[in-house]
Amino acid sequence: MRLIAVAFYQTSWFKAIVYIVIAIVAARVVDYLLARRDRAMAKLLGKTPGRADLTRYRMIRRLTVAAILIVGVAMALFQFPFFQTLSGAILASAAIISGVIGIAARAPLANLVSGVMITFSQPVRLGDYISVDDVYGTVEEIRFTYTFIRTPDDRRVVIPNEAFASQVVNNYSMGSTGSIVSVDFVVPLTSDVDEVRESVLAIADGLATPPQGKSNSVTVQELGADDVILRAHAWAVEPHSRRDLASDLRAAILRRLRADGVLGAAREANGAAG
């Protein structure tokens, strides 16, 4: 029985299992120590890390843990003669295999590279309010291949990291103390456009106080045969309030146009045209 146990301890399977266990334990320990470092630095500095630091630290932790596990699995596989022989063949035809793997795994590799680039170049950070392809939300998590955002209606949207390199991304939390919310509305061509603009501008100023050096505005966007398209621009100081501000602005403009009889004039104009 003892000979069987000794023989098992000397097998490649036992050595491979030991390497994998060591890698898992080492990865957990390193991840725990890195997490404690983040908390210790926050306690030492007397403040929580910023969005940029938090985004960078999380990716560093994930990359470190992934590297330890990959090394552990590789060392485990190399305990078997078959994989040692296979590795030699792989190295001999590395160019061909790399080309095949690159073509087959183009999307995952592109997402992985983009995830690392996002972490360090940081076009978006954890907690930023962004929009990608008409999807608005707060960045909750940035992983190796996907970024998760939480929309205002509490949906969790998964976006491939490659989208951040190939599409236009609006980051409303970076580079400015506020962001513009625009609302379009239509008035008849016969209405007093200057008076309507003044009324709507007063509404915008009452709902949203612009940052210092900025101002709300109402512009003429398009002239039609029977109507005029106007656009109200109001500054949202907090990016997360953009949706509520747009809704309140639309409702207030509707009430004001009704009270001033502008909507009634529009119906009369449409009736005359018909």
CB under 8 Å to 265, separation ≥6 — which residues? 188, 190, 191
pLDDT tens-digit series, residues 92-129: 554 555 555 555 455 666 666 777 777 777 788 888 88
Burial of 76 (0-12, 13-18, 19+ CB in 10 A): buried
What single string gives the DSSP state of each residue in 115-136?
HHHHHHH-SS-TT-EEEETTEE
**How many Cβ atoms are within 10 Å of 161's Cβ, its own excluded?**
22
Higher pLDDT pick, 106 / 209: 209
Residue 202 confidence (pLDDT): 92
Provide the β-strand partners of residue 141. Answer: 148
Kindly report the average pLDDT of the chain as a whole number.
76
Q: Reading across the β-sheet that carries 227-236, which strands appear in turn?
A: 179-188, 227-236, 217-223
> Domains in the chain and their CATH numbers?
2-92 (no CATH), 118-171 (2.30.30.60), 179-273 (3.30.70.100)
Higher pLDDT pick, 56 / 153: 153
Residue 80 to residues 71, 108, 184, 218, 225, Cα–Cα distance (Å): 15, 29, 68, 73, 80
As a whole number, mean pLDDT of residues 28-54 equals 68
Q: Kindly tell me if the per-residue pLDDT of 3 is higher than 60.
A: no
Q: Kindly tell me if the per-residue pLDDT of 263 is higher than 80.
A: no
Higher pLDDT pick, 230 / 243: 230
Residue 176 confidence (pLDDT): 65
What H or E segment, with its residue span, contains residue 39?
A: helix 12-45
pLDDT tens-digit series, residues 145-190: 888 888 888 889 888 888 877 788 888 877 666 778 889 999 888 8
- With a threshold of 0.75, does the pTM exceed it? no
Token representation of residue 167: 């599409």
- 3-class DSSP assignment, residue 79: coil
Residue 178 confidence (pLDDT): 74
Residue 231 confidence (pLDDT): 93
- 3-class DSSP assignment, residue 238: coil
**How many Cβ atoms are within 10 Å of 174's Cβ, its own excluded?**
16
Q: Would strands 156-160 and 146-150 be described as parallel, antiparallel, or unpaired?
A: antiparallel
Distance CA 123, CA 171 (A): 8
Higher pLDDT pick, 246 / 11: 246
Q: Would strands 129-132 and 135-142 be described as parallel, antiparallel, or unpaired?
A: antiparallel
As a whole number, mean pLDDT of residues 221-238 equals 88
270: confidence class by pLDDT, cuts 50, 70, 90: very low
Q: Which of 150, 148, 144, 159 is nearest to 114 (CA)?
A: 144
Residue 242 to residues 50, 133, 178, 206, Cα–Cα distance (Å): 23, 17, 10, 15
Q: Kindly tell me if the per-residue pLDDT of 268 is higher than 60.
A: no
